[in-house]
Amino acid sequence: MFFFSRSSAKLVAPLGCLVSRQKHTLPDLPYDYAALEPHINAEIMQLHHSKHHATYVNNLNVVEEKYKEALAKGDVTAQVSLQPALKFNGGGHINHTIFWTNLSPNGGGEPKGELLEAIKRDFGSFANFKEKLTAASVGVQGSGWGWLGYNKEQGRLQIAACANQDPLQGTTGLIPLLGIDVWEHAYYLQYKNVRPDYLKAIWNVINWENVSSRYAACKK
């Protein structure tokens, strides 16, 4: 399991560093709440960011304080009991921090360059990749995420789905490149229970520049 550092937003090893860390904070969006309309409306974005993500951040800070106390006391039972809350709220913070940067009012279309070539290599075509990631996201039972990740050991792209707020890298080892939130709070106010309509719309605001940058960075 991993958390974001305060200064660089890179994934860092968590639990051993709890004593000296600063508190997590809600990141600002790089665009206005209404910027992704008509594909994702302003009300959804405001609630999703300022309420749901903020709750994960607040709860993560609380549970980390409790974990720090358990570490100081050598209370292994308490440390173990706190793991689910660390995973859920830490994952929620990680996932959403990636998610906001994966979206852009100037997004959509197809990626270019090295990422597009990798997609064609590993999925046959961009259209086939898009179909597979959409299917994986639609198929999540209940709440969760659809992901495009990078398998560093195999040097290839992979599609995965994670339940709830399970962080991709911490639970599968894949480096997260593109995440699609399929919790109902990400789309219900606009698309009701028709998740496929939300997934069709979100491709219009995918920030391929950001995804390509993440891909280039993880290959170094």
Closest CA to 150 of 125, 131, 183, 172: 172
- Reduce the DSSP state of residue 179 to 3 states and report it: strand
Would the annotation count 166 as a binding residue? no
CA–CA distance, 115 with 123 (Å, rounded to integer): 12
At how many degrees (to 10) do helices 113-123 and 126-138 cross?
70
Would the annotation count 48 as a binding residue? yes
Secondary element (H or E) of residue 100: helix 76-101
Residues 6+ apart with CB under 8 A from 170: 1, 2, 87, 91, 94
Alpha carbon 117 to its chain's center: 23
Is-contact 144 183, C-beta < 8 A? yes
Which tokens go with 138? 């639609």
Which tokens go with 107? 């997004």
Going by their DSSP bridges, the two strands 11-12 and 144-151 should be labelled as: unpaired
Residue 22 CB-density burial (10 A; 0-12 exposed, 13-18 middle, 19+ buried): exposed
Binding-site annotation: residue ranges for Mn(2+): 48, 96, 181, 185
Going by the annotation, the residues of the binding site are 48, 96, 181, 185
